[in-house]
Structure 1
Amino acid sequence: MSQNPSAADLIRTHLARVEQLRHEATAAGWQSAVDEVKRLQARRFRATYSDFLRHARYAPATHFFLTELYGVHDFVERDAQFSRIAGALERLFPEAVAQLAVDLAETHALTEVLDQTLASHWLTLETSLPPATRYIMSWRLTGSLSSRERQLSVIQHMGLELQRLTRMKSLRLGLRMMRNPARLAGLDALQHFLETGFDAFSSLGDARPFLDTINERESRWVAAFFDLPLDECSAALSMELANSN
């Protein structure tokens, strides 16, 4: 009788997929295009959530999502640390912490698959096109509405779990006590991610309005990227990108 994969297995599977995609992007010469796509998306996110970034209550959680999940960073070291201690996470921490790591790994893998596919289409389009138009055309060639919806679903779950975990004072204290052991064990990137997430959501209070707004705004953009007439969508995205500067 088959068993459901463990949290550790899921983490390793998702992160192995990310590592494979990195190698494929490098081998295919797509990495610079992947980085271009990520930078454009980061600009759009900053503009879409500029009000949250200025809001004392919402700013830490917004920075956490934009930096730790969708930032234009090299996550190789953090991924390696998560993968290396996936089994220990499951053994030593509450189930919700292990599930949080699964959510992170799945979001990371989904994002890399979509960004790399989008970048492969980006490279086939005329460089003379406005970046917004080129991005939307690449998005439509990529398709994968179900994966976009799954991204949003996992983000919602991750946010709610972070909120729930921040209420466990013993867990927060335990994380603080892990700083030096984590550093000595070469797990400082992982430690930073966990503490940053806990700090961000402990200051948030009720996370539901924050997460509901993210879901509403991202769903609206996803719908526009797929269905709005190209000229109209390009104008809207160009205006949004201009607001990120």
Structure 2
Amino acid sequence: MIEDRVRLDVGVATARGQRARNEDFHWAADGVYLVADGMGGHEAGDVASRTAIEVLRGLAVGTPGPDDARRTVRQAHSAVRDLPATTGRRPGTTATGVVLTEHGDTPCWLVVNVGDSRTYRMAGGVLEQVTLDHSEVAELVASGIVPADEASRHPRRNVVTRVLGGGATQVEPDVWLLPVSPGDRMLVCSDGLTDELSDARIEAELRAEDAAQPAADRLVAAALAAGGHDNITVIVVDATLRR
């Protein structure tokens, strides 16, 4: 079993920040670590994020691969689309996360993403964003119209181009399958963290704590101290390969 080959240390922290309620929802159990950020401009964002996670946590069954992830994300999209639109606007949510699985005989991270919440990987003390933001600003940066160092201040930085639910009839998730390396630290977070802290600051805060729970707590505290304008949810997953 994969659990016999990889030991995980997990930390979770969340805060509503300056928002009236927390529309983030997360799952951190059974080798599945997910964050969904209910869209503030949609009705019932908290219900949308919870609904998505309830479907996506089904990835805990067996040893899922990329096709399983795509199928489950599409099921989550349908479930969110089926929620009532109380004022004519459909609920929507981002979703991102990582699943511990195996491919052949190799332990792997299965990473999924829709929207602008993020999953990162830190290896050898160096942080790398695995997911790609589905947002207007990310597209402008990719096309060279907006410099990368101006993206965090752009007035349309929170306009997402892909969500679960919303008005689209279909959704295409991004999926990655990455071999687990000794000492991997995975970070799953809503944009309430990344809107407040740069990647360099996130890396520094992660390096300051050896254990997962203190690292998660530290990141949320830093985001709150930086302004905490949005809901903030953080999951830190540390992997140790057993011999």
- Asked if Structure 1 and Structure 2 have the same fold, meaning a TM-score greater than 0.5 normalized by the shorter chain, the answer is no
**Which structure has more strand as a fraction of its residues?**
2
**What is the TM-score of this pair, normalised by structure 1?**
0.29
**Which structure has more helix as a fraction of its residues?**
1
Which has the greater radius of gyration?
A: 1
**What is the TM-score of this pair, normalised by structure 2?**
0.30
